[in-house]
Amino acid sequence: MSAASGIWVLRWQRLRGHRAGMASLVLLALLLLFVLADFPLEAITGIDPNEADLFARFDPPSWAHPLGMDEAGRDVLLRLMVGGQVSLLVGLLATLLGGVIGIAVGVAAGFWGGRLDALLMRFTDGMIALPLLPLLIVLGAVDLTKIGFSSEFAHSGAAGFWRIVVIIALVDWTAIARLVRASTMQIRERDYIRAARAAGAGSWDIIATHILPNIATPIIVAFTLTVGRVILFESVLSFLGFGVVPPTPSWGNMLNNAQELVTTAPLLAVYPGALIFLVVMAVNFLGDGLQHAFDPRSEQQE
Amino acid sequence: MNRFILRRLLQSALVLLVMSFVIYGLIGLMPGDPLDVMVASVPGVTPEQIARLRAIYGLDQPLMLRYFHWLMAALQGDLGYSRSHSVPVLAVLAPALWTTCKLMLISFVIAVALSFVLGITAAIKPGGWLDGVISLAAFAGISVPVFWLALMMILVFAVELHWLPASGGSTVGDGSFVDQFRHLVMPVTTLALATTGGFTRFVRASMIETLRADHIRTARAKGNPPWRIVLVHALRNAMIPVLTVMALSFGSLFSGALLTETMFAQPGMGKLIYDAILSNDFNLALSGLLFATLITLLANLAADLAYAWLDPRIKL
Amino acid sequence: MTALLEARDVSVHFSTAAGVVRAVEGVSLAVQPGEVLALVGESGSGKSTLGFTMAGLQTPTRGQVLHEGGVLDRALWRQIRREVQIVFQDPFGALDPRMLVGDIIAEPLRLQRLGNATERAARVAQLLDQVGLPGEAASRFAHEFSGGQRQRIAIARALAPKPRLIVADEPLSALDVSVQSQILNLLKDIQTAEQLALLFISHDLAVVNHLADRVAVLYLGRLVELAPRAALFAAPAHPYTRALLDAVPRIGRKRARGQGAIAGEMPSPLAPPSGCVFHPRCPKAQAICAITPPPSVQLRPGQMVLCHFPLEEGAA
């Protein structure tokens, strides 16, 4: 198996040479530790990030509360951590879900071509043409009870969380679909696909065995870049009030009241946004580094 | 050429039609009901009366039928009545559209100009320190949350320094040009900054790719001075994909405008739609969204046409 | 003896933006079990398309492909897949870069559910030995091997399900000259040892002379001559065949000048000439050749030519 691991070692080395990419990897690891630190901290100090103490509104930093208290008397540091968990989790899940949709559409269009391709591409182009934020807002404003969910579920935190994952995925799959379609079309013409047919492979065999593994590299890069975009979407939606709803914190909705805060407690407006900025920067740099590491031009030995 | 335009127009029209149905359906799923407002102000209304009202307004009909009625009316220019503004929808949309167009166009022009300058500068010496700085700035531009950038700007320029007004289209009692200009500075800057990042990266990548091409090396070998090479030979080729991308990003520009308007309380389409959704003003939200879609579709169409026109390889 | 694989009046047409490409036109051809039939022609003659059609990778626009007398439709192809395998021209595109060589060779076995994992591994080892590669090649990747070695892998893959016929589409053309004879000999040895039928597609007559039992000559999608190898090389009946042979350098024989040398290039399959498609270039062409398509003339049993005026034996 030396050759199999060989190519990944090569890629890892190339990534290590890309300074921004490596720095981002480290930064992301640190951020992950930061958001997960909430669990031990809560256990040790016993502070509940959702518990409001109106007497403690806007308290300045202290030993017990290193970043002070927010507008509802909740510990800012802990909320930043929990909010990070939510934002990052939404980012990952929405990326995965949107990615699955995008891969399905892209492979179908690229592999079978013809009328299916024309239809899917019209649809994809139509979606790309839409202004996304207004669409997301409308989707976010949908009253779940009207489509059959119970009132209890519709107002639960879980519903709010999954709603935003689903709507972002529904709206953001187009970039991956296009990429997958282009890659699939390229591969479809190769002789080894023909050979597989001659060997008796049906369409699904070919897609699973030959096409998907060969488009894995551009997909990985695309996924990484998507995560950044998705995190930004979630933060905007939550900020506008259509995403993650309080009391569940997310970096976006922590800025919800920030406009009023700007005059009274400006720092509260700085922290969450700065964290979003950092994560998205890091993810984008990582994507750049991965692109560099996977560069097919240096990989082709032909 | 004509067949191409016709085909694309038909496609756009079809997308718009489908979207109108989808949005109509989605808006219907928003919390509340057109009857709620009417009913809320009349205590003691009975369920029978509500049912009758519903029948009168056609709200008990199936979705397709209601949509069809709306579509027929819309095609004749009647977009309905805005509940929250108490005037017909069009009366509210038109001025808002103008405000948004102002914001978007100015920001777009600035973003394009800036990105060209920065992108080309970076592309001339890729890997150099200037390129590093520009690339980093561009990266930051695409990573920063627009609303946070707006907040920071408000914090610095309005709250701390008191240089610029934090919101609104103009100060009450003073609608002069200077005043309007001051109100536009931060929104435009925010939107332009957010857009420039992505554009710059693309201009830079496209220029680098073009400058590497063989015919450029030939021009260099022939002794052309560098600026001539860049402007005359490379720019035209690099422009084609760049312009397409820029025009195609109209959708995200509009999204950015929506956000910026909301942040800075500019009376534009974005804020209009946002407020409409918040206040369950169905007609206004529906029409606003469709207008936004229409504009984006037209922009994409223009991009396709420009691309086809610029690229001599594509037969029209 | 029923032919193993037979093409009956097969035509393959592609509709493209530029028009209909008649890649193969009315070809009838049969491959007997255990024989080597060479398909010869220049680029554009349709030989690869015909080969793919007979291998079941392309559906004929008209006509049928038969297997032992039975018409091959999709259903039948699924059943007899293991009997007809294919080796491609480009050793670099024919092997999946993400798969281990062992898996590549075993793929036909896996797909057709032949044997369990252990038996497949054993067969892979046996095949690697048969094509002259070391056993540990199975755990390497294709890109670690040279062109000639990759072609061996492709041959091993084709042999895996113990086929009765292999379609070899210019298997030597992409290889270095020094390697070509090795692979040629390998094919020859395997063909003899396994009693395989071989549909050998090539533009190189010298190679064909080494390998073939019968030779079919294609020009612009039409089968212009079909004869046993010795007869074809000694006394070609079609002017085109004669010209091809004259162009092959042979030691000890001066190249015939003037006679048989043909002018021009093969016309595009989008616009084939009228009557006999060869007439614009044929030194023996007469008035009728431009008007009427030539009949298929049976010169001797097993020897057919598509010409109004077939060359006499020994004629200049």
Burial of C192 (0-12, 13-18, 19+ CB in 10 A): exposed
Q: Mean pLDDT: which of A72-86, A164-178, A255-269 is highest? A: A164-178
Residues of C in contact with A210 (CB under 8 A): 96, 98-99
Q: Residues 199..238 of A with a Cβ closer than 8 Å to C: which?
A: 199-201, 205, 209-210, 213-214
CA quadruple A180, A186, A188, A190: dihedral sign: negative
Q: Residues 224..283 of A with a Cβ closer than 8 Å to B: which?
A: 228, 232, 235-236, 239-241, 252, 255, 258-259, 262-263, 266, 269-270, 272-274, 276-277, 280-281
| Closest Cα in chain A to C100 | A4
Contact call for C111 and A200, based on CB within 8 A = yes
Give the tens place of pLDDT for each residue, A57-75.
Answer: 777 777 777 777 777 777 8
Lowest-pLDDT choice from A203-212, B2-11, B174-183: B174-183
Give the tens place of pLDDT for each residue, C259-287.
Answer: 445 667 788 888 888 888 888 888 888 88
Residues in chain C: 316
Q: Look over chain B and give the mean of its residue pLDDT values, rounded to a whole number.
A: 79
Predicted pLDDT at A99: 94
CA quadruple C112, C118, C123, C124: dihedral sign: positive
Q: Which of A46, A31, A35, A43 is nearest to A77 (CA)?
A: A35
Query: Which residues, 6 or more positions from A223, have their beta carbon under 8 angstroms from its beta carbon?
Result: A95, A99, A176
Inform me whether the C-beta atom of residue A3 falls under 8 Å from chain C C-beta atoms: yes
Closest CA of chain C from A302, distance in Å: 7
CA distance B131 to C279: 64
Angle between helices B250-264 and B269-278 (to 10 degrees): 70
Residue ranges of alpha helices (H) inside C131-263 are 147-159, 177-194, 205-211, 229-234, 239-246
Inform me whether the C-beta atom of residue A191 falls under 8 Å from chain C C-beta atoms: yes
Provide mean pLDDT across the span A271-286: 90
What's B35-78 look like in SS3?
Answer: HHHHHHCCCCCCHHHHHHHHHHCCCCCCHHHHHHHHHHHHHCCC
Contact call for C97 and A198, based on CB within 8 A = no
Contact call for C88 and A4, based on CB within 8 A = no
Inform me whether the C-beta atom of residue C173 falls under 8 Å from chain A C-beta atoms: no
Q: Which of A85, A256, A93, A247 is nearest to A164 (CA)?
A: A93
Predicted pLDDT at A5: 57
**What b/e readout covers A77-95, taking b as 16+ CB neighbours within 10 angstroms?**
bbbbbbbbbbbbebbebbb
CA quadruple B8, B13, B18, B23: dihedral sign: positive
Provide mean pLDDT across the span B281-310: 80
- Give the Cβ contact number of residue C300 at 10 Å: 11
CA distance C170 to B195: 54
Closest CA of chain C from A189, distance in Å: 9
- More confident site: C61 or A295: C61
Chain CA centroid to CA B177, Å: 24
| Closest Cα in chain C to A214 | C98
- On the question of pLDDT at B132 being above 90, the answer is no
- On the question of pLDDT at A81 being above 80, the answer is yes
Predicted pLDDT at C115: 84
In this prediction, the residues of chain C whose per-residue pLDDT falls under 70 are 1, 249-263, 313-316
CA distance B203 to B242: 6
- Contact (Cβ atoms closer than 8 angstroms) between residue A210 and residue A192: yes
- On the question of pLDDT at A302 being above 50, the answer is no
- ipTM of the predicted structure? 0.83
- On the question of pLDDT at B245 being above 50, the answer is yes
Residues of B in contact with A239 (CB under 8 A): 145, 147
- Give the Cβ contact number of residue B197 at 10 Å: 21
Query: Which residues, 6 or more positions from C126, have their beta carbon under 8 angstroms from its beta carbon?
Result: none
Q: Is chain B touching chain C, with at least 3 CB–CB pairs below 8 Å? A: no
The shortest CB-CB distance from A192 to any of C94, C108, C161 is to: C94
According to DSSP, the β-strands at C62-67 and C5-16 are antiparallel
This prediction has a pTM of: 0.82
Q: Residues 158..177 of B with a Cβ closer than 8 Å to A: which?
A: 159
Inform me whether the C-beta atom of residue A19 falls under 8 Å from chain C C-beta atoms: no
A296 half-sphere exposure, CB direction, 13 A CA radius:
9
> DSSP strand E in B51-176: where?
81-82, 87-88
| Closest Cα in chain A to C75 | A200
Contact call for C82 and A200, based on CB within 8 A = yes
Query: Which residues, 6 or more positions from A174, have their beta carbon under 8 angstroms from its beta carbon?
Result: A102, A124, A127, A128
Predicted pLDDT at B264: 84
Contact call for C81 and A301, based on CB within 8 A = no
CA distance A78 to A67: 9
Contact call for A280 and B145, based on CB within 8 A = yes
- More confident site: B127 or A26: A26
Predicted pLDDT at C1: 64
| Closest Cα in chain A to C106 | A199
Contact call for A277 and B145, based on CB within 8 A = yes
- Contact (Cβ atoms closer than 8 angstroms) between residue C33 and residue C197: yes
Contact call for A138 and B30, based on CB within 8 A = yes
Predicted pLDDT at B298: 82
Closest CA of chain A from B308, distance in Å: 17
**What b/e readout covers A17-52, taking b as 16+ CB neighbours within 10 angstroms?**
ebebbeebbebbeebeeebeebeebbeeeeeebeee
- Give the Cβ contact number of residue C219 at 10 Å: 25
Query: Which residues, 6 or more positions from B259, have their beta carbon under 8 angstroms from its beta carbon?
Result: A133, A236, B146, B147, B150, B270
Contact call for A198 and C84, based on CB within 8 A = yes
Q: Which of A166, A168, A169, A176 is nearest to A104 (CA)?
A: A176
Place A301 in a pLDDT band, splitting at 50, 70 and 90: very low
Predicted pLDDT at C95: 92
Predicted pLDDT at B316: 43
